[in-house]
């Protein structure tokens, strides 16, 4: 089953480890062209939710639907349409930026790998450093390469876990620009972050998480900081 | 405790109480006299050990592919029993060897194979204890591999042992020594089944308590 | 064109080789460790300059087991660094193919270690390594495959577990006892004063059978064990 999808629906999703609840009764739908923010304090369950959406974890209760297909039935075809930028970046430090991108490109059966990789390196502005090992890059540079890795195969669903960590102003703006480009192409983006100021204005939807549950929506408009503060009130 | 388990325990206890007389009544064996009678406890222990290992392996396989927590509960219960009965077999074995041939350990094929399989199930318990979250699945994989390994362990140790010149001759006791042996085997089997049921139940109840904690948390 | 399974496995092997070639860290440390193990055991077993009868085979295989465990641990520690093992699981690649790729990498590494250890053992213990070279190579190949097949699976499944460094040998050594027995006894049969190739062939057959069963079992259980 390798059909494309235009929305991702999370239905009463729960995940627990023994007697510790990580997520409880989470439901929402994200459509193509949306940039949805997952906002919440540390330990709210944002990373767990992203891992489940990326098929890395299985939900304990509830389900995720990618269009009409659930995660168990999606298989490899589904994974081909998901791109993820993890907290730990998913890049081999000993390999060069180019080698990393080519490896993952080939793994994802991307057509014309070398061409696409060259274009991706151009976009990061790191074409000159393309043949340096990733371990020699700063966090911001690694982030840019990691993002291109996640986007190389043209995924429909993009999952980002704290992508603005350790980024300077310029890199953060570049990331925002890149996300807007993908949004225009109809990609569904889910983004977990603490950096409210940077994403204010970027996000089309927001889901607030607290202690594994969806916190109340708070005011629908206004500065993100205000909305966050409202939502986190007990 | 279900009725079945109560009956099993009651009968097993009774049988174990009576066992010394039954074992005593068995004839003396030609070369070893009285000493060989430890065999009546040693062999059933070894059989229950094997049975426990197989049960653990099979239910682990089921758990791995169906994710049914009941299968995991039985798997861990059987693994603990494997360690228990394995320990019994490995203690009674050397006791017999000491009295019969003057040495504590004989590189007998069965003893050595049992030791290896025993180590695998000890490793199973260590993994569950120290492996952190998700170790149920990992230990299931271990038990499955352990069970698949049983024929290899046995054959390799057996052939290895026969290649070694031995200082003592291990007589092969006839498998059927009549009533005393089957009596003891039955007693051990009832005990095994009772313990397996009880321990699996305990494990399932532990899972249920976790679920209750989760439900309470939700309320 | 290659089947997707082989293609993915080849990709993984090439990537592992490329990473290793940058620093040779795993190869050099594993090799050095293996040599040290052989020496330590030699000091234990050589009396007045004469090695005890039949120790050469045992020392060789013990050194391989110890250094193999080290290599497995280090290889998967690398995949933990930037969480790249999860990135591999994210990919649409066939999961057993990922396992096969990792296994092939370990086998290559161990082959290089053996290329050094076997002549070393031959020299130090006057073992006749050229008596039946094909049989010896066969025993080493089949034994290493059995050990590595189980080891790769266990090392992979322990990546996210606590106490993984000590748990790997705890799990691996009992499970690979048949490999050790067959490897040592088969090699000893070739090294003894009157070599017994027939016996060595028996042990080789056992190893091949073990490999068939356990590689299949590993391929089959890799995905359920690695997915949470």
Q: What is the DSSP string of chain A?
A: -----SEEEEEEEEEEETTEEEEEEEEEEEETT-EEEEE--TTSSHHHHHHHHTTSS--SEEEEEETTEEHHHHHHHHHTTEEEE-TTTT--TTSBHHHHHHHHHHHTT-TTHHHHHHHHHHHHT-GGGTTSBGGGS-HHHHHHHHHHHHHTT--SEEEEESTTTT--HHHHHHHHHHHHHHHHTT-EEEEEES-HHHHTTT-SEEEEEETTEEPP---SSS-HHHHHHHHH--
Regarding beta strands A35-39 and A205-210, do their DSSP bridges make them parallel or antiparallel, or are they unpaired?
A: parallel
- State in Å, rounded, how far the first CA of chain A is from the last one: 43
Partners of B130 on chain C (C-beta within 8 Å) are 162-163, 167
Q: What percent of chain B has pLDDT over 90?
A: 33
A213 contact B CB<8A:
no
Mutate to test the interface with C, among B90, B156, B165 (most CBs of C within 10 A): B156
Partners of C75 on chain A (C-beta within 8 Å) are none
The predicted-structure confidence for A11-24, as pLDDT tens digits, reads as follows 999 998 877 889 99
d(CA B150, CA B115): 11
CA angle A14, A18, A22 (to 5 degrees): 35
* Closest CA of chain C from B132, distance in Å: 5
* Closest CA of chain A from B60, distance in Å: 19
d(CA A13, CA A25): 5
Q: In sequence order, what are the residues at sequence separation of 6 or more whose Cβ sits closer than 8 angstroms to the Cβ of residue B154?
A: B109, B110, B113
Contact B210 A18 (CB under 8 A): yes
Of the candidates A19, A24, A25, which has its C-beta nearest B210's C-beta? A19
Of the candidates A17, A18, A24, which has its C-beta nearest B218's C-beta? A24
At residue B168, does pLDDT exceed 50?
A: no
Partners of A18 on chain B (C-beta within 8 Å) are 133, 210
Contact A86 C87 (CB under 8 A): yes
d(CA B203, CA B199): 6
Q: Tell me how long chain A is.
A: 234
Partners of A89 on chain C (C-beta within 8 Å) are 82-83
Whole-number pLDDT of residue B25: 66
Per-residue pLDDT of chain C (228 residues; tens, 9 = 90+): 678 899 999 999 999 999 999 989 999 999 999 999 999 988 888 777 777 777 899 999 999 999 999 999 999 999 988 889 999 999 999 999 999 999 999 999 999 999 999 999 998 888 888 888 899 999 999 999 999 999 999 999 999 888 888 999 999 999 999 999 999 999 999 998 888 889 999 999 999 999 999 999 999 999 999 987
d(CA A209, CA C216): 44
At residue B95, does pLDDT exceed 80?
A: yes
Q: How confident is the model at residue B213 (pLDDT cuts 50, 70, 90)?
A: confident
Q: What is the rounded average pLDDT of the residues A225-229?
A: 83
Tell which phi-psi region holds residue C82, choosing left (phi > 0), alpha (psi between -120 and 50) or beta: alpha
Q: Which two tokens stand for residue B81?
A: 């029993």
Nearest to A188 by CA among A56, A83, A45: A83
Nearest to A153 by CA among C227, C83, C92, C86: C92
Whole-number pLDDT of residue B162: 67
Higher-confidence residue: B215 or A66?
A66
Mutate to test the interface with C, among A17, A87, A103 (most CBs of C within 10 A): A103
Q: What is the rounded average pLDDT of the residues A66-76?
A: 87
Q: How confident is the model at residue B171 (pLDDT cuts 50, 70, 90)?
A: very low
Mutate to test the interface with C, among B112, B135, B141, B155 (most CBs of C within 10 A): B141
At residue B83, does pLDDT exceed 60?
A: yes
- What is the model's pTM? 0.89
Of the candidates B130, B134, B153, which has its C-beta nearest C228's C-beta? B134
H helical segments located in B26-134? 39-66, 69-101, 109-130
Partners of B83 on chain C (C-beta within 8 Å) are none
Q: What is the rounded average pLDDT of the residues B82-92?
A: 92
Whole-number pLDDT of residue A1: 42
d(CA B115, CA B164): 18
Q: What is the rounded average pLDDT of the residues B20-36?
A: 66
């Amino acid at each position: 089953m390798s059909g494309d999808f235009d929305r991702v629906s999370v239905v009463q999703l729960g995940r627990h480890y023994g007697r510790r609840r990580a997520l409880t009764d989470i439901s929402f739908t994200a459509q193509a062209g949306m940039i949805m923010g997952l906002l919440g304090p540390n330990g709210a369950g944002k990373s767990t939710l992203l891992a489940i959406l990326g098929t890395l974890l299985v939900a304990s209760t509830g389900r995720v639907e990618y269009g009409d297909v659930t995660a168990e039935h999606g298989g490899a075809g589904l994974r081909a349409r998901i791109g993820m930028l993890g907290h730990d970046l998913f890049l081999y430090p000993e390999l060069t930026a180019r080698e990393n991108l080519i490896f993952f490109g080939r793994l994802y059966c991307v057509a014309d790998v070398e061409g696409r990789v060259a274009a991706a390196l151009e976009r990061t502005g790191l074409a000159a450093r393309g043949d340096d090992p990733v371990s020699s890059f700063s966090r911001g540079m690694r982030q840019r390469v990691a993002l291109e890795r996640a986007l190389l195969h043209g995924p429909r669903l993009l999952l980002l876990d704290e992508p603005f960590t350790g980024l300077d102003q310029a890199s953060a703006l570049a990331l925002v620009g890149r996300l807007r480009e993908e949004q225009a192409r109809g990609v569904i983006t889910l983004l977990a972050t603490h950096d409210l100021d940077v994403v204010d204005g970027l996000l089309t939807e927001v889901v607030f998480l607290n202690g594994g549950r969806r916190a109340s929506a708070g005011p629908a408009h206004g500065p993100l900081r205000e909305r966050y503060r409202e939502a986190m009130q007990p | 405790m279900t009725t079945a388990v109560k009956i099993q325990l009651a009968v097993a206890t009774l049988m174990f109480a009576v066992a010394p007389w039954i074992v005593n009544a068995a004839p003396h064996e030609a070369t070893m006299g009285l000493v060989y009678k430890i065999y009546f406890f040693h062999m059933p222990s070894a059989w229950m050990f094997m049975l426990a290992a197989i049960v653990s392996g099979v239910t682990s396989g089921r758990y791995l592919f169906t994710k049914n927590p009941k299968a995991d509960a039985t798997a861990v219960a059987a693994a603990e029993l494997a360690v228990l009965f394995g320990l019994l077999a490995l203690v009674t074995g050397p006791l017999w060897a000491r009295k019969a041939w003057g040495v504590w350990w004989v590189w007998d094929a069965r003893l050595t194979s049992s030791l290896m399989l025993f180590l695998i199930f000890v490793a199973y318990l260590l993994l569950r204890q120290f492996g952190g979250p998700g170790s149920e699945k990992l230990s299931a994989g271990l038990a499955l591999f352990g069970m698949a390994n049983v024929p290899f362990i046995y054959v390799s140790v057996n052939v290895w042992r026969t290649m070694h010149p031995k200082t003592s001759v291990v007589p092969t006791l006839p498998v059927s020594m009549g009533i005393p042996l089957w009596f003891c085997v039955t007693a051990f089997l009832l005990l095994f089944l009772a313990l397996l049921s009880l321990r699996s139940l305990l494990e399932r109840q532990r899972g249920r308590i976790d679920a209750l904690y989760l439900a309470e948390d939700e309320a | 064109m290659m089947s997707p399974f082989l293609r993915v496995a080849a990709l993984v092997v090439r990537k592992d080789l490329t990473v290793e070639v940058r620093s040779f860290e795993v190869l050099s440390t594993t090799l050095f460790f293996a040599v040290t193990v052989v020496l330590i055991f030699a000091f234990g077993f050589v009396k007045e300059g004469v090695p005890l009868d039949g120790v050469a085979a045992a020392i060789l295989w013990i050194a391989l087991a110890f250094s193999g465990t080290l290599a497995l641990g280090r290889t998967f520690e690398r995949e933990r660094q930037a969480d790249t093992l999860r990135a591999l699981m994210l990919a649409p690649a066939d999961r057993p193919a990922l396992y096969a790729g990792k296994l092939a990498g370990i086998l290559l590494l161990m082959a290089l270690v053996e290329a050094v250890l076997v002549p070393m053992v031959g020299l130090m213990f006057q073992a006749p390594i050229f008596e039946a070279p094909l049989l010896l190579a066969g025993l080493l190949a089949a034994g290493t495959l059995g050990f590595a097949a189980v080891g790769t699976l266990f090392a992979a499944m322990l990546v996210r577990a606590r106490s993984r460094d000590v748990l790997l040998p705890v799990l691996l050594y009992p499970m690979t006892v048949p490999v050790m027995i067959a490897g040592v006894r088969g090699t000893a049969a070739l090294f003894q004063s009157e070599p017994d190739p027939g016996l060595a062939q028996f042990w080789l057959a056992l190893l091949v059978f073990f490999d068939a069963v356990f590689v299949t079992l590993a391929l089959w259980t890799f995905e359920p064990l690695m997915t949470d």
